Structure 1
Amino acid sequence: MTNQTLMSDLKNALARIHYWFKNNHSAKIASLASGLSPLEIDNVLSSLSFQVSKEVSELYQWSNGYSIDKCTDDWIFDYMFLLSLQSAVKEAETWVEEHEEIGLMYKYAGKPVLPVCMSDIEFLAVVATDDEQATSPVIYISENGDISLRYTNLTAMMLTLAESYETGGFFIERNGYIQKDEKKYAAAYRKYNSRITDLALERFLKIFPEDSSWQTVQLLHNDLYMSNTYEIEIPLSSLKTKVVNTLLNLLQDEKYDSSFSVVLVLEELRAVDALIQGLQHPSKWVRSRAAFALGKIKAFEAVEFVSQLLEDPDPMVQEAVKEALEMFRNQR
């Protein structure tokens, strides 16, 4: 898909969203600010210490959103409202200038982000780019700094939302609040974000050689958990194999102190063989979670291996094994 096509798709999605609101709930869209010129956008973005994707310019040519202090309940983007570019840049600069630990909460894999949508307690933000890229991922950030991938890019986000409004994935109740039909939204999400798991795996393999901390593993878990929520298929590819092998090496490293987090990621990856190896781990926490995970993901080929841990010396592991075996029985 070319950059020009991506931009056209973004414009089209935004036009569809505007049309839907104009015909179904005009009050929410009526006060949306007009767009900025490319020159105005460049001037505002020039104060940032990092670059953002070209999609950001495309978005703000469509509308300059709302300033933080003037928006009430004008939510149009996934329970959030569109920030004005000035407000977005000011928020991003505040995050960068905050104490290091706070600033790290608002980065994705070490890269700063630009918030574009927000509610009282959460943000959607685009990740900084290394050069003049056409697109970059959209991430979710909670008020306590929990971060995960949300959309492949801004184009995918707006196409998902446009189709969700048109098909009833999102609808507005009489009280004016946006509600979600999870099944219909999930269908639109899968249609436009099929590569989001690949993005998570690619990011992990790129970052891990420089940062093998538990935070890097936890971020991969967050990303995979989110994509699995919407049943995005995990590709049986060399990419997945490389990640699983990397995690297995961590699991076998006696000095690594976050093995439990590794098992959680292997669970999200449905990495059956690796989880079976986890059943023999020295840590009772790893053994118990590996057993539970195999039951949860319906790995019937592992029943025999899980059953062997009924005689495990630790009561917690025994209990996890019983739960796993019960899940196997209930899933047949």
Structure 2
Amino acid sequence: MSDIKDALDRINYWFQENHPVKIASLASGLSPLEIDSVLSTLSFKVSQEVREIYEWSNGYPKYDCADDWIFSYMFLLSLESAAKEAQTWVEEHEEIAVMYKYAGKPVFPICMSDIEFLAVAATDDEQTTSPVIHISEIAEISLRYTNLTAMMLTLAESYETGGLFIDRKGYIEKDEKKYAAAYRKYNSGITDLALERFLKIFPEDSSWQTVQLLHNDLYMSNTYGIEIPLNSLKTKVVNTLLNLLQDEKYDSGFSVVLVLEELRAVDALIQGLKHPSKWVRSRAAFALGKIKAFEAVEFVSQLLEDPDPVVQEAVKEALEMFKNQR
């Protein structure tokens, strides 16, 4: 049995033992031929994980299971509903279709709640996994899990350890500490995925939105305590952002500093202290205090004499954070 099917069976067992009503109407799985028939209607390919999840169960009919949330706060779409939704996104007007792509590839919804989705990115031939992304109600895309297997293992362990539980009203609640422990265990590589996506799309789109996407991804992984390894990916991204920060024509330096903060890029943030924009200087100072970069205290202190009061105030806050963190 594959890891994803094992995780799905664990989720099913937990609900059968604790809240059987919520999973009672979950459909049985499809045959490989049935799955092939539905997926053949798509203009792109999906990962092997998608096939495995639908061999396990064909989910629920769309919009017919408001209370049947088993995958955290979402329910599993039937394969037919998922394929129709995905095809709609592909066929939408160009500006809208761009919002439903991950690194330039179409995405395929797996779970939904109201008008939010969890989806996987289209894959190349023979690829077994792909990232799981969250699509918000305003069509913003951000990374959520390393892949479908990681997602299901995270949820299975969270239910078993109390990281996820059902309250008295029947809603799924979260114990943040326990859930974070499971999330870190199965999604340690998610920061590399975020960095890879940025490096792939930045040459074609160097707008502030691209930088903001990276910030959103890194912010989420940092929230769960995922460490960002010091590797070539991080180095390339930091150097790219530093070049942006030094480009006089680029006017979104504040967004760049926010990403450098999430990356704990101390040397780059120190360079930001010399930026012409008061907003960049102030946020760089604040960021250095926030991430406990004690080696930067001297550089931050020098800005106490900055001519702009906004920067002076940020420096005072940063120095206070250094003082409180010792």
| Contact kept? 1:148, 1:226, Cα under 8 Å | no
For 1:1-332, list aligned pairs within 5 A.
Answer: 8-332=2-326
Give me the whole-angstrom Cα distance separating, in 1, the residues matched to 2:259 and 2:85. Answer: 32
CA distance in 1, matches of 2:160, 2:297: 45
- Deviation readout 1:155-190 (Å, 9 max, x if unpaired): 000000000000111111121111111100000000
C-alpha contact 1:164 1:188 (8 A) present in aligned 2:
yes
Cα shift readout 1:39-68 (whole Å, capped 9, x = no counterpart): 111111112121111100000110111122
Distance 1:108 1:215 in 2: 14
Residue type of the partner of 2:239? N
Give the C-alpha shift of residue 122 in structure 1. 1.7
- Equivalent position SS for 1:198: helix
Give the secondary-structure state (helix, strand or coil) at the position aligned to 1:189. helix
User: What's the CA shift for 1:100?
Assistant: 2.3
How much has 1:98 moved relative to structure 2?
2.2
- For residues 161 and 279 of structure 1, the distance between their equivalents in structure 2, rounded to whole angstroms, comes to 42
1:3 aligned residue: none
Unaligned runs of 5+ in 2: none
User: 1:328: Cα distance to partner?
Assistant: 1.3
In structure 2, C-alpha distance between the alignment counterparts of 1:222 and 1:299, rounded to whole Å: 22
SS for the counterpart of 1:68 is coil
CA apart distance, 1:137: 0.3
Q: Which amino acid in 2 is paired with 1:146?
A: E
Q: Which runs of 5+ in 1 are unaligned?
A: 1-6
Amino acid of the structure 1 residue aligned with 2:208: W
How large is the RMSD of aligned CA atoms in angstroms?
1.2
Kindly indicate whether the alpha-carbon contact (under 8 Å) linking 2:28 and 2:56 is maintained by their aligned counterparts in 1: yes
Deviates more, 1:239-248 or 1:52-61: 239-248
Contact 1:51 1:132 (8 Å CA) reproduced: no
Task: Give TM-score scaled by structure 2 length.
Answer: 0.97
Q: What is the Cα deviation at residue 29 of structure 1? A: 0.7
Contact 1:116 1:126 in 2 (8 A): yes
Taking only the aligned residue pairs, the percentage that are identical comes to 86
Count residues with an aligned counterpart. 326
Q: Counterparts of 2:255 and 2:15 in 1: how far apart (Å)?
A: 43
Shift of 1:207: 2.4
Name the amino acid aligned to 2:140: D
Three-state SS of the structure 1 residue aligned to 2:173 is: strand
Q: For 1:17, give the aligned amino acid.
A: I
Q: Which moved more, 1:92-101 or 1:276-285?
A: 92-101
3-state secondary structure, aligned to 2:128: coil
Q: Residue 108 of structure 2 aligns to which amino acid in structure 1?
A: L
d(CA) in 1 for partners of 2:124, 2:194: 17
In the alignment, is the contact (CA less than 8 A) between 2:103 and 2:200 conserved in 1? no
Q: Aligned AA for 1:104?
A: V
Q: Which amino acid aligns with 1:124?
A: L
